[in-house]
């Protein structure tokens, strides 16, 4: 892992994500890009992130933008100074752009290996109508996305839940699952959530899961079949039962009408789980 992207809005949750990213970078030697995008309420064509004027705008807009850039750069500098001595290289990126568009572009242009984002979560009608930039990134990012909600005094992952259907479709992510287990030095708990609408025999499921574990030469792992009313509740209850430190799973990243019809278990977990959730896009 060489490059970690941490978008920040200077919120408490974003600070938690930055702290977790520092801990991961210390383990992997990765460089962190700390990103803040100024999503201005008017056209950004007149300004660059350095404050240079690009064409004519009103004096008030110009002064407002310069002051906002100045304050933002001071906040970024303070954040970077707060981890001075951590041994991690942190570079900043402040730009005037739509947040989601900027994140997407940086992921592609900088060949980002991991995005670490803070999230407040969402529920009910707010979740349905609004969603979040974090949820959007989970849906489209070609690289893994780690969602963080809470402060960790010392970020360690000893028990890592991998929830999957263990079908051929998810196999493309298993090498990356294995990599992150090794990065954290964690015990991997493979779990299949058996639901009334998609029920299979425990014996057959465990045989299938063991075949996957053997194929990818997994080590330090357990195999479990957990019964629950639905996948999301089952994953959360299982993780709570074993006192897991993180949940890991793949997502289809469906968009548009298909997303409304079928949703995404991974996105639901990002919204509702208190634990960090690491998602991988299957394409």
What integer pLDDT is reported at residue 251 of this predicted model? Answer: 80
Question: Quick check: 131 pLDDT over 90?
Answer: no
CATH for the 3-119 domain, from 3.55.50.30, 1.20.1250.20, 3.40.50.300, 3.40.50.620: 3.40.50.620
Question: Quick check: 210 pLDDT over 70?
Answer: yes
- The DSSP secondary-structure symbol of 168 reads G
Other Cβ atoms closer than 10 A to 262: 10
Percent pLDDT > 70 in the chain is 82
Q: Six-digit token pair at 203?
A: 């014996």
What integer pLDDT is reported at residue 52 of this predicted model? Answer: 52
Q: Does domain 159-281 have CATH number 3.40.50.620?
A: yes
Whether the Cβ atoms of residue 123 and residue 116 lie closer than 8 Å to each other: no
- The DSSP secondary-structure symbol of 146 reads E
**pTM of the predicted structure, to 2 decimals:** 0.86
- Tens-place pLDDT, residues 226-263: 999 999 999 999 999 999 999 999 886 554 433 333 44
Burial grade of 129 (CB within 10 A; 0-12, 13-18, 19 or more) = exposed
In the chain, residues under CATH classification 3.40.50.620 are 3-119, 159-281
Other Cβ atoms closer than 10 A to 32: 24
Whether the Cβ atoms of residue 98 and residue 37 lie closer than 8 Å to each other: yes
Nearest to 183 by CA among 166, 160, 161, 162: 160
């Amino acid at each position: 892992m060489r490059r970690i992207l941490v978008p920040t809005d200077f919120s408490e949750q974003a600070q938690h994500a930055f702290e977790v990213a520092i801990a991961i970078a210390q383990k992997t030697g990765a460089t962190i890009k700390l990103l803040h995008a100024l999503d201005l309420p008017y056209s950004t064509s007149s300004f660059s992130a350095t404050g240079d004027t690009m064409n004519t705008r009103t004096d008030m807009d110009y002064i407002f933008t310069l002051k906002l850039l100045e304050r933002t750069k001071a906040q970024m500098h303070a954040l970077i100074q707060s981890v001075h001595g951590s041994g991690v290289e942190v570079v900043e990126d402040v730009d005037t752009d739509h947040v989601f568009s900027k994140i997407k572009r940086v992921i592609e242009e900088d060949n980002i290996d991991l995005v670490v984002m803070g999230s407040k979560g969402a529920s009910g009608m707010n979740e349905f109508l609004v969603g979040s930039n974090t949820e959007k990134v989970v849906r489209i990012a070609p690289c893994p996305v780690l969602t963080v909600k809470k402060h960790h005094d010392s970020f360690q992952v000893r028990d890592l839940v991998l929830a999957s259907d263990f079908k051929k479709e998810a196999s493309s992510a298993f090498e990356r699952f294995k990599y992150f287990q090794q990065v954290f030095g964690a015990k991997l708990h493979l779990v299949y959530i058996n639901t009334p609408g998609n029920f299979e025999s425990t014996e057959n499921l465990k045989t299938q899961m063991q075949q996957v574990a053997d194929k990818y030469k997994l080590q330090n792992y357990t195999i479990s079949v957990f019964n629950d009313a639905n996948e999301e509740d089952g994953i959360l209850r299982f993780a709570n039962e074993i006192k897991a430190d993180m949940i890991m799973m793949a997502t289809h990243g469906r968009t548009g009408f298909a997303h409304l019809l079928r949703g995404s278990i991974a996105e639901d977990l990002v919204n509702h789980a208190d634990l960090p959730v690491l998602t991988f896009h299957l394409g």
